[in-house]
Amino acid sequence: MQFCPKEFQRFLDNNSYETREKWKQFTKDPIFIPRHNLSLKAQKDLALERLKIVSQNKVFSVYDFSKNPLNVFANHEMASWVDGSLATKLTVQYNLFGGTLFTLGTQRHLKIAEGVDTLDTIGCFALTELGYGNNAVQMETTSTWDAQNKQFIINSPSQLSQKYWITNGALHCNYAIVFAQLIFNEQNEGVHTFLVKIRNEDGSVCKGVEIEDMGAKFGLNGVDNGRLRFTQVRINQDAILNKYSDIDKDGRFSSSIKKKRDRFLKVADRLLSGRLCIASMSIGSTKFGLTTALRYANKRLAVGKKGLSDNPIINFNLFQNQVYPLLAKTIGLNIAFNQIKILYSNSLLNNQDASPLLVCLCCVIKPLITWNARDVATCLIERVGGQGYLSVNRLAELMPSAHSGITAEGDNSVLMQKVSKELLGLVYKDQYEFSKNLFSKEDIFKMKKIDDLNILIDLIRIKENEYIQYVINLTQNQMQDGKDIYEIWMEKENDSIQELAKSFGDRIVADFAFQMIQNSREDIKKPLILYLKLSLLNNIYNNLGWYMVNQIINAEGAQSIETKENQQYIKYIRLLCILLIALEFLSIYQMHLQLKIMKHLIRNLMWEKFIDLNYEREEKNKIFIIQFILFILILKVYYLYYLSYFLKNKQINKYILLQIYIYTFFIYFKQIVKQFLLILFFLFMQNFYIIILQKKNIKVSHIISYQKNKKGLL
């Protein structure tokens, strides 16, 4: 089987290669080394310091939304490898705050927007309220127009109206984009967005603003989530983000959007990019976890046929049955997600509103990717065993990150209802193109063996088409019986509504992945098809009951799917071994895999080191001893330089100074091997200088005598 690991990486990355490479380089900075046992305050400050390094390297800009949207998502994926807290602060600063300011604001807001890239302006996105999470259109926070003073008055009338889960809010931001009901001439004009300063230049909280840290969380404690409350906070007239609505200099309100609900939906469209950003973070962290676990499993030896610990756990059917389908699913999601990002980016570049179908794509891919991240985290932590439970190995980070993504930028299940609603809306308007099958369900039902890729894709398409028709029929039938749409969807048939959206998402992933694989290079096409087949087989196997009940797959066909699925693993192992040889098979940079779990097994160190609780302390002691030796050597070098000064020998001075410069440059390298080589180097150079002195017929004792005579000691 032909296979090119580098092209495989490039295919999964798809875009923004230069940005990704920059991340791999600047994250070598020691500040990005994972740290544990820090206080909450220290974790949050560390996340900010890391964000500053990102800003200094200029890999991300709010202008990317109009010039290079794909770069936005690439930065989110790269950040997720390094630190989930960093990635979360990054998405709020650059996407939710900066992106909203840039896309919903106008020329008068550019000065503040330009400070986003440099972190001169740090912002937060104040949408969610304690009492109004999934029903934000009914939020209580108000922005009342004061015609006499030409100001808006921001107010939180109750405890339920406080802005909740506001990232960057607790400590670091000085501005907030506040969503509030605009009250103009005592009439509610719907939800609008306002730029509100919440901290002064000295860091103190502005008058009328209350901020409270939300405290310790399940994970991502480097994120300074806060809750904000406003009491009659006055802001200037130009604080409203006025792309769609504004109040002119004569105090007249105007809006290009007539309906109040549509005004909210328009400003809430900013969450579409947010959902893709969350999906980017989740797909990145999922690949990171899979890479870590698979490399560990390839080295972790367990009992073999002879009773010896000579068989890697990756060879066990238990590991393969649980991990491989998730790996295949992750790669399929990655490929399809790349296509969705391209479609969304093109709409931004062409200055077009997102079509209803594009809204469905953005809303369905986030749940699919974040749910998969949760499943991967659960599986890997279990299969890796005790090493998965250690914080230092970073697998445990996947769980809180996944659950954060499941609720961020829209609860997954709520988004799936939105997908079903939008999808059926397109069907009713005859604007939805049903997927076309190569094989009918009657033809497939006659088959005794199901293993062809086209048949597998057809089965995914059939399930979507069947669920669309099923939900339409059940909705119409129950409405004829006097039930309203809310009762049907929310109280009786929600499982079907959720499954419709999931079937749509599965079909999109299958079709998009297949299309992109068909356009890939030959040296990666077959491995990619193998991944896709395994993912589809697992999907169909998990839904085998539905296919059999609906007479789409017969008993023999069902048996062949289970058999074929197991047979695929044999081929899959061969491919996986090739991938494992390529150290960056999921494009995860080597530095970020230098975990304790890797240090012991990848370098083939003794297994006993795993249970040595003092191992890290021993490592530090070794480094200290070597640094002490280097310190003694440098004192000797300076002493030689001091002696040579009296000889007025410029040639010797030049060589000794060169040695000092080299030492100064390398002294900060902490790796033991490099420092050991440095010791040998300095010993060699020291002997080299002594030889030079001897060739000049100068002995060190003569120089010492010279110094003593000069000081009057002899």
Q: In the 3-class helix/strand/coil scheme, how is 372-386 assigned residue by residue?
A: HHHHHHHHHHHHHCH
CA trace torsion 147, 151, 157, 161 (10° rounding): 130
How many whole angstroms separate alpha carbon 641 and alpha carbon 454? 77
Q: b/e string for 517-548 if b means 16 or more Cβ within 10 A?
A: beebeeebbbbbbbbbbbbbbbbbeebeebbe
Q: Which residues contact 550 (CB under 8 A, 6 or more apart)?
A: 441, 466
Tell me which fold the domain 16-60+84-269 belongs to.
Butyryl-CoA Dehydrogenase, subunit A; domain 2 (2.40.110)
Query: What mean pLDDT comes out for the span 315-337?
Result: 92
Query: Which residue has tokens 């809310």?
Result: 486
Per-residue confidence (pLDDT) for residue 612, from 0 to 100: 34
Q: pLDDT tens-digit profile of 176-190?
A: 999 999 999 999 999
Per-residue confidence (pLDDT) for residue 561, from 0 to 100: 87
Query: What mean pLDDT comes out for the span 80-90?
Result: 96
Cα angle for residues 636, 641, 644 (degrees, 5° grid): 125
The two structure tokens encoding residue 169: 């809010």
Q: Which residues contact 22 (CB under 8 A, 6 or more apart)?
A: 57, 59
Contact 503, 510 (CB under 8 A): no
The two structure tokens encoding residue 186: 């005592």
Per-residue confidence (pLDDT) for residue 628, from 0 to 100: 62
Per-residue confidence (pLDDT) for residue 603, from 0 to 100: 37
To the nearest whole number, what is the mean pLDDT of the chain?
A: 85
| Domain boundaries defined on the chain | 16-60+84-269, 271-593, 615-710
Query: What mean pLDDT comes out for the span 110-127?
Result: 94
- pLDDT-above-70 percentage for the chain: 79
Per-residue confidence (pLDDT) for residue 695, from 0 to 100: 54
Per-residue confidence (pLDDT) for residue 116, from 0 to 100: 96
Per-residue confidence (pLDDT) for residue 298, from 0 to 100: 84
Cα-trace Rg, the chain: 31
CA trace torsion 168, 17, 287, 455 (10° rounding): 120
Per-residue confidence (pLDDT) for residue 582, from 0 to 100: 42
Q: To which CATH superfamily is domain 271-593 assigned?
A: Butyryl-CoA Dehydrogenase, subunit A, domain 3 (1.20.140.10)
SS3 content of the chain, % helix, strand, coil (to 5): 65, 10, 25
Per-residue confidence (pLDDT) for residue 133, from 0 to 100: 79
Q: pLDDT tens-digit profile of 616-648?
A: 444 455 555 655 665 666 665 555 555 555 445
Q: pLDDT tens-digit profile of 130-164?
A: 998 778 899 999 999 999 999 999 999 999 999 99
Please check the confidence at residue 479 and state whether its pLDDT lies above 70.
yes
What is the pairing mode between strands 245-247 and 175-184?
unpaired
Would you call 144 helix, strand, or coil by DSSP?
strand
Q: b/e string for 437-462 if b means 16 or more Cβ within 10 A?
A: bebebeebbebeebbebebbbbbbbb
Residues with a catalytic annotation lie at 409
Q: pLDDT tens-digit profile of 353-389?
A: 899 999 999 999 999 999 999 999 999 999 999 999 9
Between these two residues, 455 and 596, which has the higher pLDDT value?
455
Give me the amino acid identity at 649: N
The two structure tokens encoding residue 235: 């802001």
Q: Long-range contacts for 479-484 (Cβ within 8 Å, ≥24 apart)?
A: none
Per-residue confidence (pLDDT) for residue 692, from 0 to 100: 58
Contact 10, 52 (CB under 8 A): no
How many whole angstroms separate alpha carbon 514 and alpha carbon 170? 45
- For residue 354, give the DSSP letter: P
Instruction: Centre a 10 Å sphere on the Cβ of residue 67 and count the other Cβ atoms it contains.
Output: 10
Q: pLDDT tens-digit profile of 211-220?
A: 999 999 999 9
Q: How many CA atoms lie within 13 A of 593 on its CB side?
A: 23
Q: How confident is the model at residue 239 (pLDDT cuts 50, 70, 90)?
A: very high
The two structure tokens encoding residue 554: 């017969």
Per-residue confidence (pLDDT) for residue 371, from 0 to 100: 99
- Which of 40-54, 63-77, 652-666 bottoms out in mean pLDDT, i.e. has the lowest? 652-666
Between these two residues, 508 and 605, which has the higher pLDDT value?
508
Residue 186 CA to its chain's centroid (Å)? 44
Please check the confidence at residue 405 and state whether its pLDDT lies above 90.
yes
Give me the amino acid identity at 386: G
How many whole angstroms separate alpha carbon 686 and alpha carbon 677? 14
Cα angle for residues 66, 68, 71 (degrees, 5° grid): 130
How many whole angstroms separate alpha carbon 39 and alpha carbon 43? 6
Please check the confidence at residue 345 and state whether its pLDDT lies above 80.
yes
Element (H, E) at 397: none
Query: What mean pLDDT comes out for the span 29-45?
Result: 94
What pTM value is reported for the model? Answer: 0.82
How many whole angstroms separate alpha carbon 552 and alpha carbon 538? 17
Q: Which of the given ranges, 294-298, 568-572, 591-595, has the highest pLDDT on average?
A: 294-298
Contact 31, 49 (CB under 8 A): yes
Between these two residues, 82 and 672, which has the higher pLDDT value?
82
- pLDDT-above-90 percentage for the chain: 68
What is the pairing mode between strands 233-236 and 151-155?
antiparallel
Q: How confident is the model at residue 673 (pLDDT cuts 50, 70, 90)?
A: low
- Which of 15-24, 34-43, 517-526, 662-671 bottoms out in mean pLDDT, i.e. has the lowest? 662-671
- DSSP conformation letters of 297-330: HHH-EEE-TTSSEEEEGGGSHHHHHHHHHHHHHH
Query: What mean pLDDT comes out for the span 556-561?
Result: 91
How many whole angstroms separate alpha carbon 203 and alpha carbon 173? 9
How many whole angstroms separate alpha carbon 574 and alpha carbon 335? 22
How many whole angstroms separate alpha carbon 513 and alpha carbon 14? 13
